[in-house]
């Protein structure tokens, strides 16, 4: 039995990288997929690829730092595809990068809006439909930077993702035994535009430790392909686990990759 067949899924940040791979993987499982991001050309291309598989898809451009834009996008998606049963909060920004005393506070706050508050807004919007039907799946894409002391010179990114993980655990506890699960995923070091962006910044801005790590992963050829975390996400969506923070590198993550 394919539990995901004909379910409507929304992937934020679905125009490229990990989000694009997740959207395509969900379509392959039989989902109808809404693809949301800021770049119209990218989401239209992903939507066309999904539609070529015979699934329904909807491209919608939206600013995740704007609560009213999210409300509008939610209404448009549900009108076009129907109730959202699967939500993948993948969209995120790594900027501003720099030391706390040099970065713009407004840019810092905007990163929190996009990486954390927008995820909450989407959960808040989708949950009534999920609870009414007694089935829903929410996955928040986090990062290893949410643990320990975070990623050097990336306090907004690290802080917002740590908050996203607490939102994941807290909401999973609230929603236990409702049929709605909430989990988060650490996708690992993936070959994406974000990785390339960080590698291109000056050492003094990103910090020597992060620069060396990201450059080393690239030069050693050890970056993951986006299709790998996408497969993990789809297999996690099939199960009943909730309140988990799953890393692609840990035992549960590796088992999900093998399914």
Q: Is 249 a catalytic residue?
A: no
Q: What is the 3-state secondary structure (H, E, C) of the chain?
A: CCCCCCCEEEEECCCCHHHHHHHHHHHHCCCEEEEEECCHHHHHHHHHHHHHCCCCEEEEECCCCCHHHHHHHHHHHHHHHCCCCEEEECCCCCCCCCCCCCCCHHHHHHHHHHHHHHHHHHHHHHHHHHHHHCCEEEEEECCHHHCCCCCCCCHHHHHHHHHHHHHHHHHHHHCCCCCEEEEEEECCCECCHHHHHHHCCCHHHHCHHHHHHHHHHHHHCCCECCHHHHHHHHHHHHCCCCCCEEECCCHHHHHHHHC
Distance, CA of 167 to CA of 165 (rounded, Å): 5
Point out the residues that are catalytic.
Answer: 157
């Amino acid at each position: 039995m394919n539990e995901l067949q004909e379910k409507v899924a929304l992937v934020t940040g679905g125009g490229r990288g990990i989000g694009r791979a997740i959207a395509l993987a969900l379509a392959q499982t039989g989902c109808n997929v809404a693809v949301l991001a800021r770049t119209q050309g990218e989401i239209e291309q992903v939507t066309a690829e999904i539609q070529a598989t015979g699934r329904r898809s909807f491209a919608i451009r939206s600013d995740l730092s704007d609560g009213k834009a999210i409300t509008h996008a939610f209404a448009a998606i549900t009108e076009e595809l129907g109730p959202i049963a699967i939500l993948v909060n993948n969209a995120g920004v790594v900027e501003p990068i720099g030391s706390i005393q040099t970065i713009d506070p407004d840019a810092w706050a905007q990163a929190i809006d996009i990486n954390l508050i927008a995820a909450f807004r989407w959960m808040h919007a989708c949950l009534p439909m999920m609870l009414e039907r007694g089935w829903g799946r929410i996955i928040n894409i986090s990062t290893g930077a949410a643990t320990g002391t975070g990623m050097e010179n990336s306090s907004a990114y690290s802080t917002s993702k740590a908050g996203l993980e607490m939102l994941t655990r807290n909401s999973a506890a609230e929603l236990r035994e409702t049929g709605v699960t909430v989990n988060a995923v650490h996708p690992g070091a993936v070959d994406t535009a974000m990785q390339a962006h960080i590698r291109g910044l000056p050492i003094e801005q990103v910090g020597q430790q992060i620069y060396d790590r990201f450059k080393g992963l690239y030069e050693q050829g050890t970056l993951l392909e986006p299709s790998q975390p996408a497969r993990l996400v789809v297999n996690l969506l099939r199960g009943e686990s909730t309140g988990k923070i799953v890393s692609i590198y840990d035992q549960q993550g590796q088992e999900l990759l093998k399914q």
